[in-house]
Amino acid sequence: MLADPASSPLAEQWRQRDLSVVWHPCTQMREHPHTLPLIPIARGEGAWLIGHDGRHYLDAVSSWWTNLFGHTEPRIGAAIARQATCLEQVMLAGFSHEPAITLAERLLALAPRQPGRAPLTKVFYADNGSAGVEVALKMAFHYFHNRGETGRTRFVALENGYHGETLGALAVGDIPLYRRVYAPLLAEALFAPSPDAYQAAPGQTAAGRAQQAADGLADLFERHPGQICAVILEPLLQCAGGMRMHDPLYLKRARELCDAHGAFLIADEIATGFGRTGTLFACEQAGVMPDLLCLSKGLTGGFLPLSAVLTTQRLYDAFLDDSRERAFLHSHSYTGNPLACAAALATLDIFASDDVIARNRGTAGVMRELAAPFTDHPHIADVRQTGMVVAFELARDSDRTTPFPASARVGLHVYRAALARGVVLRPLGDVVYWMPPYCIDDAQLALLAQTTLAAINEGIACA
């Protein structure tokens, strides 16, 4: 059932040209094309990616969680085209432009709020998620430096968390596969227990697990008085860590602990933002406002790289001074690129005009129904959902105790089996998940569920 890579001469030509010059991300290149298929894509349309051989692939992972409303969504494409005839790029130091200004205003108006807290009032742009995380970390540290609290040099991150691949972001990530080799280069972060409900003890509730993890965070604060400048976390959903989900209670406690110890809370909503968890931002579900909010991925609807870091007046004001050194001198050439900002504005327009969050509730309900039968599968230890994300935890036994050995590469086998059936599922280890574009319809969801079951069975049989 595996797609024959030689099925189309045109696709094969692109494949060969690619492999002679392109080095792909997150890939052991030696596995291409025999162990790992390489699929040249000619175009995209709605939830579909379409190969040069005309084959259709249902994009069930939204092209690494970036795509919101389908590929080549015409309203976003048109906004970029309009902007391109007007202003394609200008440096954002000393200059400004309408899309960057309007986008900042609109993001701040939509950002999470919390009674009794001054709202987020400033937006700093960067050009990808990892860069946004770097900005947030540097800002938090620099704030305390400017205030003379030079002992605050440590970051707390969560076990099993992920914040990107640059060295600063990798330092606060806890996924051994990405981090291990570079460990000697990384600043030393403090890791607090993950609130991940899947790791709950037998009989322990998700809320109980969240409480326990929060106690661990409290412990870290006690052990490092006056040293911690910020806690960084992915609210509600640790995505790259295997779509692990936690109770909103944890965010409330993390917020309280940060306040009690004078540290910032950085919410990395790069993956969870823009409706993925059922609300526009995941923090809303805990009623928590972070001091720094990192956004990227869905920010432009999946069209262009852009990130934004939203923060408070209090943090911003600490950088105002006569000296250049106190200023936040961080910059990227494409900071606040007008085309990307125009794409983001069109994305926000669609959220408003199409009532996306409300419509997603229906789609998430269909996903829930389709996922329910998987709980009876003998090799599925857990089926979980947060909003528009459903995850299936594969295991040798459904009692959760025995994972498949890594060497069996069950995830890879599932990936290939699904691709051969025209669906892009890209498991994280042995976690198979659905994170589709919001435009996915009921027929496509039914195809997704049916293919997922077949691919899991075939993948396990191969292992």
Ligand X SMILES: *Cc1c(COP(=O)(O)O)cnc(C)c1O
Q: Is the dihedral of CA 81, 279, 107, 334 positive or negative?
A: negative
Q: How many other CB atoms are found less than 10 A from the CB of residue 300? A: 29
Q: Which is nearer to ligand X, 270 or 419 (CB)?
A: 270
Q: Which is nearer to ligand X, 232 or 448 (CB)?
A: 232
CB of residue 254 to ligand X, shortest distance in Å: 16
Residue pair 278/360 in contact (Cβ under 8 Å)? The answer is yes
- Indicate which single residue of 163, 379, 396, 421 sits in contact with ligand X (rule: CB under 6 A): 163
Tokens found for residue 21: 């010059």
CB of residue 234 to ligand X, shortest distance in Å: 5
Report the DSSP beta bridge partners of residue 190: 156
- Indicate which single residue of 220, 232, 271, 417 sits in contact with ligand X (rule: CB under 6 A): 271
Region near ligand X per CB under 6 A, out of 160-168, 336-344, 345-353, 364-372 = 160-168
Region near ligand X per CB under 6 A, out of 158-166, 198-206, 213-221, 331-339 = 158-166
**C-alpha distances in Å from residue 332, one per residue of 32, 92, 98, 167:** 33, 9, 19, 16
Q: Which is nearer to ligand X, 131 or 381 (CB)?
A: 131
H or E element that contains 58: strand 56-59
Number of H helices, E strands in the chain: 14, 16
What's the rounded Cα separation, in Å, for the pair 112 and 117? 11
Tokens found for residue 385: 């959902």
Counting residues that bind ligand X (by CB under 6 A) gives: 15
**C-alpha distances in Å from residue 274, one per residue of 167, 170, 266:** 26, 24, 17
CB of residue 388 to ligand X, shortest distance in Å: 14
- Indicate which single residue of 44, 99, 164, 301 sits in contact with ligand X (rule: CB under 6 A): 164
User: Which of the residues 22 through 61 are near ligand X (CB under 6 A)?
Assistant: none
CB of residue 128 to ligand X, shortest distance in Å: 4
Residue that is written with structure tokens 């295991």 in the block: 395
Indicate the residue type of 63. Answer: S
Q: Is residue 296 at the binding interface for ligand X, with CB under 6 A as the rule?
A: yes
CB of residue 239 to ligand X, shortest distance in Å: 5
Report helix, strand or coil for 294. Answer: strand
Region near ligand X per CB under 6 A, out of 52-60, 90-98, 162-170, 203-211 = 162-170
What's the rounded Cα separation, in Å, for the pair 375 and 27? 31
Region near ligand X per CB under 6 A, out of 124-132, 146-154, 352-360, 396-404 = 124-132
Q: Which is nearer to ligand X, 141 or 162 (CB)?
A: 162
Indicate the residue type of 235. Answer: P
Q: Is residue 130 at the binding interface for ligand X, with CB under 6 A as the rule?
A: yes
Which residue's beta carbon is nearest to the bound ligand X?
A: 129
What's the rounded Cα separation, in Å, for the pair 16 and 88? 33
- Indicate which single residue of 162, 274, 433, 438 sits in contact with ligand X (rule: CB under 6 A): 162
User: What do you get for the CA distance between the two ends of the chain, in Å?
Assistant: 16
- What mask, x for binding ligand X by CB under 6 A, covers residues 225 to 264? ---------x----xx------------------------
CB of residue 431 to ligand X, shortest distance in Å: 14
Picking from 37, 11, 13, the residue whose alpha carbon sits closest to that of residue 24 is 37
Q: Which is nearer to ligand X, 44 or 129 (CB)?
A: 129
Q: Is residue 160 at the binding interface for ligand X, with CB under 6 A as the rule?
A: no
Q: Is the dihedral of CA 374, 380, 385, 388 positive or negative?
A: negative
CB of residue 145 to ligand X, shortest distance in Å: 24
Region near ligand X per CB under 6 A, out of 43-51, 52-60, 266-274, 403-411 = 266-274
What's the rounded Cα separation, in Å, for the pair 111 and 96? 22
Picking from 114, 111, 109, 110, the residue whose alpha carbon sits closest to that of residue 252 is 114
**CB-based contacts of 455, cutoff 8 Å, min separation 6:** 414, 415, 417, 418, 421, 423, 425, 432
What's the rounded Cα separation, in Å, for the pair 269 and 223? 28
Region near ligand X per CB under 6 A, out of 125-133, 340-348, 384-392, 408-416 = 125-133
Q: Which is nearer to ligand X, 167 or 446 (CB)?
A: 167
CB of residue 246 to ligand X, shortest distance in Å: 14
Q: Which is nearer to ligand X, 158 or 449 (CB)?
A: 158
Residues at the interface with ligand X (CB under 6 A) = 128-130, 133, 162-164, 234, 239-240, 268, 270-271, 296-297
